Structure 1
Amino acid sequence: MGDPARTEPALTVAREPHPFRQRALRVLTLALALLLTVSGTAVLATAGHLLLPFQRLTTLEGRLASKAGFFEDEQVTRILLEHGIRVRTVSSGSREVATGSLDGYDFVFPSGEPAGDLISSTRQKQHRYTNIYRPFDSPLVLATYREYAETLRDAGAARPQTGSGTGEPLYYSLDMNRFLALTEHNRRWNDLGIGRHGLSNGNVVLAQTSDICESNSAGTYLGLVAFTRNGNDVPTDLRRADEIAAKVKPLLIRQGSPGADLFKYYASPNDHRLDPVVVVYEHQFLAYQAGYRTRHRTVDTERVLLYPTTRMLTQPQFIALDRRADRLGELLEHNPELQRRATELGYHVLGADALTGRLRQQGVPAPPAAGGDETAARMPELEILERMIAAVKNCPAPATN
């Protein structure tokens, strides 16, 4: 007999798992894999990369001015990626885009017709591919601060617009003839009595633009001044253009901030005495107020807009420089999501009247529609405008595009 303290080793035979248990394990594994896949897809969609590994992605290189912010918007980026398009941009002033080299770019997006017409004219002479799209527009406006708007009101050059919400007005009408008279006679803000509004500023009354050699807004403002000083009519001959240019040169030669986009400076905390009135686009102000309303639950009542009574509408031109960029141009003009987002960013989408409703949804007072005593200003022909620009400032010669 063996030692009772010892036991023989036991042999254990593993039994096959029950078939039901095997099926349950497989179902659980598949469910977990599906859950991870769905979660990953949701993350990719949120990041704007949905299905990118499974589709061909076209990267387009663009050169553009103030409209660069449109392509930097997260929602716009997401929408374009869903359509297989990635956009990479280089920013510069619109006229700088028009006069610089476009080699290596698929598209350009100048902020208005003068720069767009210059690009189209140059490329057509060279028999190079050009296709133009006009997805939205935005008026040229003068952005300022309330104290300066009220000072212009005291001088009889501005008045609050009605019907744009309650409380302090965000929008004023600006009599361009009276405003230009103030600027041409070197009147200073202290002369106009800005001290009554708690400020002191010995600088001359002036609407600051970007460099006219680089900026579409500066050239458009020159067109607006020429239209106003020509009796609310477009100069149509070179001799008359020379006369107007000589008259307005003292006004505009002092212009020319080195930055192509003055709005970023205007929207930042700064000394209001340096550039208290700047030439910008309406969409920039409306998008700023919508963002401010989201962050602070109120609009910025310190910053206001001056709408010239001779209103100048600008139409940004998306110009495809090759056939690959045509698809992007078509999306900008026709895709409902991109049109909706453009409206949310303050643009007037062509053929639609959604901006007023969108601003109300965002809690921002909407500017009254154009009309009444306003005159629709028009730009001179390209040859005449270029001649006036040359008379105001000796800009560098255009590059061969």
Structure 2
Amino acid sequence: MGVVTVREEQAIARLTDRLVDDYPADQVESAVGTARQRFEGHPVREFVPILIERIARRELEASTKQVETENVAAQRDPNQQPDPARGMSRIRTAGAEFAADKRLMALAAAVLVVVLALVVAFAVRQPDQPTATSATAALTTVHGVVGSEKMAFFDDPRVVEALAHKGLEARVDPAGSRQIATSVDLGNYDFAFPSSAPAAERIQRARNISTKYTPFSSPMAIATYQPIAELLTAAGVVRPGPVPTFDMARYLQLVRNDVEWDKLRDNTVYPVHKNILVSTTDPRTSNSAAMYLAIASHVANDNTIVQGPAAEQAVLPTVSRLFVRQGYTENSTDGPFREYLAAGMGPTPMVWIYEAQFVEASVRGQIKPGMVLIYPSPTVVSQHTLVPLTTPGDRIGRLLATDPDLQRLAAEHGFRTSEPSRFAKVAADNHVPVAGEVIDVIDTPTIDTLEHLIDSVTKSYN
């Protein structure tokens, strides 16, 4: 069994466990098995687990609704038997009532004739009124490839409706942002929508495109649990407050010294024998991991942006440990954050995420008591940047950046937009303790330096 297959099997096992939390195990096994068959023989495997989970969850939800409908129908008294005599009596009674009301029925029929005549006349007067079918056919379909954390936004029926009012239908595929910039065949798409400016810049360079749109942004953050936050507060890593912060310099000291959880003083809440590490995605495919690498390299380089081969080599021993010691990592942020929501702090005590993911989960009611959002210090604000590849792609980019309804919906999905009050209202309405203004922010290295660091970390895996 190849490495890719092992990773895929592990991811499918985890998604199956998540589904079993919500649906009967036998139904989950059947739905997942059926979904897997749809991807047999496909050469590109990176996002097969994500797609399998989406398909299986959709089928399970539909099955649950059908069962609920059948249960409602079954609530009639099963012991009640039909009574022929009673039925004939009702027929006779209905006939008598009908005979008594013939004049009323005749009047209703006359009214119906008048209404039908008016409808026909109106239809004749309105020959150009489009039908629902013609209106749908008039939509321009725009194909895009987007970071997985934006799939919920594009799947939102309200977003679909808002775009339809502008004559557009967006059909999007998920991919890791670095994959979008390096390995996805963009010839099949109208726009590319990675989760950072460096990834977008690489696309622009490769395709000689100057136009770009940044409809929204999201600072990088860490999702953890209150017991872990308190444990790290005692260790000097977390600084408590209304919005807790995560001291990256102190954290890197623990990493360099190979400190394990069970070595922390007075640790009774998480005494496990493994290294203290934040769980991330794969830096070879995912933007969020690349942003983690950018922050860690900055701190390891005496809080200075890494520039040049000497600086790159100096920080490599530290930053490589952050990834190599994690073992298996997923290709996009959707996977580890789902595990955080479903599995508890056992496997994932700390997860590197976009702030938007935590806020969106709060809006959906998925954040449980004891789940905590903290901000790394310093952090990076990830600029979700759309690169138009065709004229329809440019149109959707402009709409996402300027349309008030789409900007409002982006805020409801946890993204910070050009109008800060939108995001602030969503956070306040859902009682999410977020930073009103993220101040301790660094610039990322140049795209070339970041690529060199990623390549060096990749070699460290071997």
TM-score by length of 1: 0.78
| Aligned ranges 1:53-68 → 2 under 5 Å | 53=135, 56-65=138-147, 66-68=149-151
Asked whether the 8 Å contact 2:337–2:351 carries over to 1, the reply is no
Counterpart AA for 1:105: Y
Alpha-carbon offset, residue 31 of structure 1 = 6.7
Q: Distance in 2 between matches of 1:201 and 1:79?
A: 49
Q: Distance in 1 between matches of 2:225 and 2:248?
A: 18
Q: Distance in 2 between matches of 1:338 and 1:385?
A: 32
Other structure's SS at 1:360 match: helix
CA 1:30 to 1:319, structure 2 compared with 1: closer, same or farther past 3 Å?
A: farther
> What residue in structure 2 maps to residue 257 of structure 1?
329
> What residue in structure 1 maps to residue 114 of structure 2?
27
> What residue in structure 1 maps to residue 339 of structure 2?
266
Asked whether the 8 Å contact 1:123–1:130 carries over to 2, the reply is no
Asked whether the 8 Å contact 1:110–1:116 carries over to 2, the reply is yes
From 140, 149, 152, the equivalent of 2:232 is: 152
2:364 equivalent to 1:364: no
CA 1:21 to 1:187, structure 2 compared with 1: closer, same or farther past 3 Å?
A: closer
Asked whether the 8 Å contact 1:55–1:84 carries over to 2, the reply is no
> What residue in structure 2 maps to residue 334 of structure 1?
402
> What residue in structure 2 maps to residue 213 of structure 1?
284
2:179 equivalent to 1:96: yes
> What residue in structure 1 maps to residue 445 of structure 2?
380
CA 1:252 to 1:29, structure 2 compared with 1: closer, same or farther past 3 Å?
A: same
Other structure's SS at 1:315 match: strand
Alpha-carbon offset, residue 51 of structure 1 = 7.6
Structure 1 unaligned residues grouped into runs of 5+? 1-19, 35-48, 163-170, 294-298, 396-401
> What residue in structure 2 maps to residue 311 of structure 1?
379
| Aligned ranges 1:1-400 → 2 under 5 Å | 24-29=111-116, 53=135, 56-65=138-147, 66-100=149-183, 101-124=185-208, 129=209, 131-162=211-242, 171-193=243-265, 195-197=267-269, 199-255=270-326, 257-261=329-333, 262-270=335-343, 272-292=345-365, 300-361=368-429, 363-370=430-437, 375-394=440-459
Counterpart AA for 1:225: A
Deviations 1:226-284 (A, max 9, x none): 11112222112232122212332222223451341234433432152222211110000
Q: How many residues align?
A: 344
Larger radius of gyration: 1
Alpha-carbon offset, residue 28 of structure 1 = 2.5
Alpha-carbon offset, residue 384 of structure 1 = 0.8
Alpha-carbon offset, residue 301 of structure 1 = 2.4
Deviations 1:59-78 (A, max 9, x none): 11111122222111121111
Deviations 1:331-389 (A, max 9, x none): 1011000001111111110243321122222x323413236xx5321100111111111
In percent, how many aligned pairs have the same letter?
28
Alpha-carbon offset, residue 23 of structure 1 = 7.8
Counterpart AA for 1:233: T
Alpha-carbon offset, residue 114 of structure 1 = 2.2
CA 1:50 to 1:67, structure 2 compared with 1: closer, same or farther past 3 Å?
A: farther
CA 1:30 to 1:90, structure 2 compared with 1: closer, same or farther past 3 Å?
A: same
CA 1:68 to 1:213, structure 2 compared with 1: closer, same or farther past 3 Å?
A: same
Q: Could you list the structure 1 runs, at least 4 aligned residues long, displaced by more than 6 angstroms after superposition.
A: 20-23, 31-34
Other structure's SS at 2:262 match: coil
Counterpart AA for 1:248: V
Deviations 1:164-216 (A, max 9, x none): xxxxxxx421111111111221111111247433x332221001111111000
Alpha-carbon offset, residue 120 of structure 1 = 1.4
C-alpha RMSD over aligned residues: 2.8
Q: Distance in 2 between matches of 1:232 and 1:274?
A: 31
Bigger helix share: 2
Other structure's SS at 1:389 match: helix
Asked whether the 8 Å contact 1:138–1:283 carries over to 2, the reply is yes
Counterpart AA for 1:102: L
Other structure's SS at 1:354 match: helix
Asked whether the 8 Å contact 2:294–2:444 carries over to 1, the reply is yes
Q: Distance in 1 between matches of 2:355 and 2:373?
A: 8
Which is worse superposed, 226-235 or 351-360?
Answer: 351-360
Deviations 1:65-108 (A, max 9, x none): 22222111121111111211111111111101111121211111
Which is worse superposed, 145-154 or 332-341?
Answer: 145-154
Other structure's SS at 2:421 match: coil
